[in-house]
Amino acid sequence: MKPLFEKMKHLLNQFLRIYYTKKLLKLNKKKVFNENEMTFKNHQLEQKKERLISKTESKELSEAEVQTKRQEIEIRIEKELTEAKQNIITKSADIENKIIKMKAKRDNLQNALISKIENDLLALKEKNTHLEKVISEAKKTNKDLNQADELIQEKEEELKNNLRKINIIESRKNTEENTDIHLSLSHLTMKFGGLKAVDDLSFDVKKGEIFGLIGPNGAGKTTVFNCITQFYKPNGGDIYYNDSNNETNSLLDFKVHDIINLGIVRTFQNVELVWELSVLDNLLVGAHSLYSAGFFSQLLHLPKIRYEEKVLKTRALEVLKKLDILAYKDALPYGLPYGVLKKIEFARTLMTKPNLIILDEPAAGLNDAETKELAQLIKSLRDEFNLTIFLVEHDMGLVMEVCDTICAISFGKKIAIGSPSEIQKHPKVQEAYLGGE
Amino acid sequence: MEKFKLHFKRISKHPFFGFVLFGLALSLIPIFNNFLPVSFVDSAAKTLIYFIVALGFALLIGYGGLASLGTSSFIAIGTFAIYTVMDLLNMPFALAILIGVIVALMVGVIFGFVSLRIEGMYLAIVTLGLSEIMIELFKNFDKFTGGVSGTTFSSFRLLGQSLSTNQTFFIIIIAVVIAMILTYNLINSPTGRALLAAKNSDSAARAMGISVIKYRLIAFMVSTVYAVIGGMFYMAYIKFSMGSTWGLAVSLNILAAVVVGGSKSIWGVFIGTFIIFGLDLMVFQQIPFLSQGAFANFSFVISGVLIIVVVMYYPSGLIGLFKKMTFKLKNKLAKKSKGERKS
């Protein structure tokens, strides 16, 4: 009876922990929204200033009068701006308080989980030493009996599995301690029936780097992607992620539509925009997780949703301007050049101010000139928005040019990891691409 | 005066202005009730009632991409809910709306949960099956529905006063305008965009943080509420409802109305509903030459041909055709004015 009870308690704890974590992430989103609010207020008041000044200019006053009026206006705007700022600051302080409370609640549960993990770890280690003993004894005593051989094999298999489990747990600790790791895959395994699409794959992505995942066709790159974004739930292994507050989460705890709240956004191989909506509205779709207005607020168009709409529209325009595609803002994406579509998708990912962007074959369907431009764009985006970029690509030119670290995989297994030049020289990579001798 | 003009210009550009104007234009029908044939007024009311239902359905199919064939049973729930609450229990209309909406939401959630797993044709078939079950239920719950022979409705009361058909017509017009405004709001909000995104690509929508299941359920619930309210007004105006009439034909007609008119435009939905439900009685039957003899059923031929033509050549509905025409016209006018300026 007792173990069942323990299990139930553990499950409940797990559920609550994830629930609180999700709430925390929502609050973080509100913080992002507040930042957007700031730029919106600046923008709005600037416009107001211009309007007022142009009004005074049209009134045919003497120059001195215009000057004084202008000063008056500037003072007024300045005042309004500070007021707005104060407002936003109090709001964000409020959110901060809520975050602290929520965190306290969550951390209790988190600690329980961690202590359980530690216990598991100890138990596993004990089991392993025991197993090793059994194996060595079996080897000593019955050397030539087939039965013993089978036993040894079985035990060794178990030992291996246990070691893998220990590794997974330890890599969690490792990610927690090393805050410069952004994403850590640990013994990731994904099976489709009998086929192992991803087989025991582990690597770390560091903060601020451009990480490339390469491999021949059918190597399982896209499967890795889909495992990270939780479109597939992996059969084994774990994926850990350090968010902007240096909190470590296992991505397996989340659903696909929660992943964006952690600050991970992805693009798609063949641009997946909403073809019936204008470019601006497409960006607003990307900002969907920033809206907090409820259904009735939307139904009745209450002030809250109107305000959020305005704030996020200014953000969208800002992003479009940065990517140099402001001219297309009211156009429907259907029929626009492919390079522009890719840029729109980029812009959509930037709406939520993410930390990690996952690009699925960004150069697919682009010509050479466009690919070069894309490489520039990726680099400049990384520098400007302080991003980490993780990409899968076929175009070797692009990968070698932009990536800081490259991981090469073949048939779901890691064959090499390192800087572009190292990968180019690596004999195993050459073999995977060009075939053995 | 100048200021007033400017103000008016700003208001007239607001989309709600068109809806209110439309409501005012419609209210001419009950005002000139005495000069119009009864069949004309009746079919106008019916068209408006089905327009409310079609608006909800347009959200479901045009934005959610979910083709349901269960609309008619929701209308039926509306008719029977108002009959039960107002006639049997003698309660006010507000309560009827509340109970009707609650029942509809419960049934809508059942339909919706079925829809979460399946798409396209299969969804249509499943909802068709569910609606057939509903018809059988209506036949058997004869206390609330009148069973096989249907039930009549005594009088529509609002605030303790029973309303004449003419007054009911006004209420329907108000409801239509409100439904148009609410639909417009919903379409131009994160919900509408999320639905479109989910229809376009399920995986992309989920990657953007849109919970596809949630929004599909919302679309289902909104469309059921619209259908139930449409059903209530149907009972209030027509005053008769029979379970077995709410079968596949009505659902298909509403589907056709939305597809013909254009599922992504409120005006398109109106045009479609008018063509399917209003064209025959409101226009053709009023022309003496067409209403007699060999041409009596001519209008059905016309609407059938229209559906075929629209589906083949204008996938975005008749509203797409209108938009194209106005766009061309504007271009022509612009060119003309340019030419004049040059010369």
B134: which 2 tokens? 């509903």
* CA-based nearest residue to B164, from B332, B262, B60, B41: B41
Residue type, A360: D
- In angstroms, what separates the C-alpha of A279 from chain B's closest C-alpha? 12
Q: Does B197 touch chain A (CB under 8 A)?
A: yes
> Cβ A299–B185 below 8 Å, yes or no?
yes
Instruction: Report d(CA A434, CA A78) in Å as an integer.
Output: 65
User: How high does pLDDT run on average in chain A?
Assistant: 85
Q: What is the per-residue pLDDT for B341?
A: 61
Whether pLDDT at A135 is above 80 = no
Among A21-35, A151-165, B136-150, the range with the most confident prediction by mean pLDDT is A21-35
In this complex, the residue of B185, B207, B208 whose CB is nearest that of residue A301 is B185
Among A226-240, B1-15, B269-283, the range with the most confident prediction by mean pLDDT is A226-240
Phi, psi dihedral angles at B91 (to 5 degrees): -105, 165
Per-residue pLDDT of B58-87, as tens digits, reads 998 889 888 888 889 899 989 998 888 888
Whether pLDDT at B153 is above 90 = no
- Identify the residue with better confidence: B111 or A281: A281
Average confidence (pLDDT) over A321-341: 88
DSSP run (H or E) holding B227: helix B212-238
Whether pLDDT at B177 is above 90 = yes
> Cβ B203–A268 below 8 Å, yes or no?
yes
Instruction: Report d(CA A342, CA A362) in Å as an integer.
Output: 8
Whether pLDDT at A139 is above 80 = no
Test the A interface: residue of B105, B181, B188, B208 with most A CBs within 10 Å:
B208
- In angstroms, what separates the C-alpha of A341 from chain B's closest C-alpha? 15
Q: Which residues of B touch A300 (CB under 8 A)?
A: 182, 185
User: How high does pLDDT run on average in chain B?
Assistant: 84
Instruction: Report d(CA B70, CA B246) in Å as an integer.
Output: 10
Q: What is the per-residue pLDDT for B180?
A: 93
Q: Which residues of B touch A358 (CB under 8 A)?
A: none
Average confidence (pLDDT) over B108-123: 76
Instruction: Report d(CA B104, CA B239) in Å as an integer.
Output: 20
- In angstroms, what separates the C-alpha of A355 from chain B's closest C-alpha? 14
Q: Does B212 touch chain A (CB under 8 A)?
A: yes
Q: Which residues of A touch B197 (CB under 8 A)?
A: 274, 285, 288
Nearest CA in chain B to A261: B209
> Cβ B194–A284 below 8 Å, yes or no?
no
Nearest CA in chain A to B63: A276
Q: Does B190 touch chain A (CB under 8 A)?
A: yes
Q: Which residues of A touch B218 (CB under 8 A)?
A: 295
In a domain, B337, yes or no: no
> Cβ B185–A272 below 8 Å, yes or no?
no
In a domain, B26, yes or no: no
Nearest CA in chain B to A286: B208
A338: which 2 tokens? 């492919």
Distances (CA, A) of B174 to A16, A277, B21, B54: 47, 30, 12, 16
Name the band, by pLDDT with cuts 50, 70 and 90, for residue B195.
Answer: very high
Instruction: Report d(CA A28, CA A354) in Å as an integer.
Output: 11
Average confidence (pLDDT) over A252-258: 88
Whether pLDDT at A437 is above 60 = no
**Number of alpha carbons in the 13 Å side-chain half-sphere of residue A400:** 8
Nearest CA in chain A to B206: A257
The dihedral through the CA atoms of B222, B225, B227, B229 has a sign that is negative
Q: B192 by DSSP, 3-state: which?
A: helix
Residue A416 bridge partners (DSSP): A408
> Cβ B200–A265 below 8 Å, yes or no?
no
In this complex, the residue of B191, B200, B207 whose CB is nearest that of residue A274 is B200
**DSSP character at residue B277:** I
**DSSP character at residue B163:** P
- Write out the residues of chain A at the interface with chain B, using a CB-CB cutoff of 8 A: 229, 231, 255-261, 265-266, 268, 272-277, 281, 284-286, 288-289, 291, 293, 295, 298-301, 305, 309, 348, 352
Whether pLDDT at A436 is above 60 = no
Q: What is the per-residue pLDDT for B299?
A: 67
Whether pLDDT at A302 is above 70 = yes
Q: What is the per-residue pLDDT for B290?
A: 66
Q: What is the per-residue pLDDT for A36?
A: 86
Q: Does B304 touch chain A (CB under 8 A)?
A: no
Per-residue pLDDT of B285-297, as tens digits, reads 777 766 666 666 6
Q: What is the per-residue pLDDT for A131?
A: 79
> Cβ A229–B193 below 8 Å, yes or no?
no
- Identify the residue with better confidence: B100 or B288: B100
Whether pLDDT at A61 is above 90 = no
Q: Does B31 touch chain A (CB under 8 A)?
A: no
Whether pLDDT at B343 is above 60 = no
Nearest CA in chain A to B185: A299
Instruction: Report d(CA A131, CA A129) in Å as an integer.
Output: 5
Domain span at residue B226 reads: 41-317
Domains of chain A: 1-177 (no CATH), 183-263+354-434 (3.40.50.300)
Instruction: Report d(CA A314, CA A179) in Å as an integer.
Output: 33
Residue pair A239/A183 in contact (Cβ under 8 Å)? The answer is yes
> Cβ A288–B182 below 8 Å, yes or no?
no
Task: Judge if ipTM > 0.95.
Answer: no
Per-residue pLDDT of B38-65, as tens digits, reads 888 888 899 999 999 999 999 988 898 8
- Pairing verdict, β A388-392 and A356-360: parallel
Instruction: Report d(CA A397, CA A418) in Å as an integer.
Output: 16
**DSSP character at residue B152:** E
> Cβ B186–A272 below 8 Å, yes or no?
no
Q: What is the per-residue pLDDT for B132?
A: 87
Phi, psi dihedral angles at B156 (to 5 degrees): -90, 120
**Number of alpha carbons in the 13 Å side-chain half-sphere of residue A30:** 19
Domain count across chain B: 1
Q: Which residues of B touch A256 (CB under 8 A)?
A: 203, 206-207
Instruction: Report d(CA B72, CA B85) in Å as an integer.
Output: 20
Q: Which residues of B touch A310 (CB under 8 A)?
A: none
CA B79 to chain centre: 15
> Cβ B193–A298 below 8 Å, yes or no?
no
Q: What is the per-residue pLDDT for A285?
A: 92
Encode burial over A193-204: b for 16+ CB neighbours within 10 A, e otherwise.
eeebbbbbbbbb
Q: What is the per-residue pLDDT for A320?
A: 92
For residue B132, what are the contacts with CB-CB under 8 A and spacing of at least 6?
A: B247
Instruction: Report d(CA B149, CA A175) in Å as an integer.
Output: 72
Nearest CA in chain A to B197: A274
Q: What is the per-residue pLDDT for B277?
A: 84
- In angstroms, what separates the C-alpha of A162 from chain B's closest C-alpha? 34
Q: What is the per-residue pLDDT for A142?
A: 62
Residue pair A311/A33 in contact (Cβ under 8 Å)? The answer is yes
Tell me the three-class secondary structure of chain A, residue by residue. Answer: CHHHHHHHHHHHHHHHHHHHHHHHHHHHHHHHHHHHHHHHHHHHHHHHHHHHHHHHHCCCCCHHHHHHHHHHHHHHHHHHHHHHHHHHHHHHHHHHHHHHHHHHHHHHHHHHHHHHHHHHHHHHHHHHHHHHHHHHHHHHHCCCCHHHHHHHHHHHHHHHHHHHHHHHHHHHHHHHHCCCEEEEEEEEEEEECCEEEEEEEEEEEECCCEEEEECCCCCCHHHHHHHHCCCCCCCEEEEEEECCCCCEEEHHHCCHHHHHHHCEEECCCCCCCCCCCCHHHHHHHHCHHHCCCCHHHHHCCCHHHHHHHHHHHHHHHHHHHHCCCHHHCCCCCCCCCHHHHHHHHHHHHHCCCCCEEEEECCCCCCCHHHHHHHHHHHHHHHHHHCCEEEEECCCHHHHHHHCCEEEEEECCEEEEEECHHHHHHCHHHHHHHHCCC
Nearest CA in chain A to B202: A272
In a domain, B22, yes or no: no
Q: What is the per-residue pLDDT for B295?
A: 65
Per-residue pLDDT of B120-139, as tens digits, reads 788 888 888 888 888 888 88
- In angstroms, what separates the C-alpha of B211 from chain A's closest C-alpha? 6
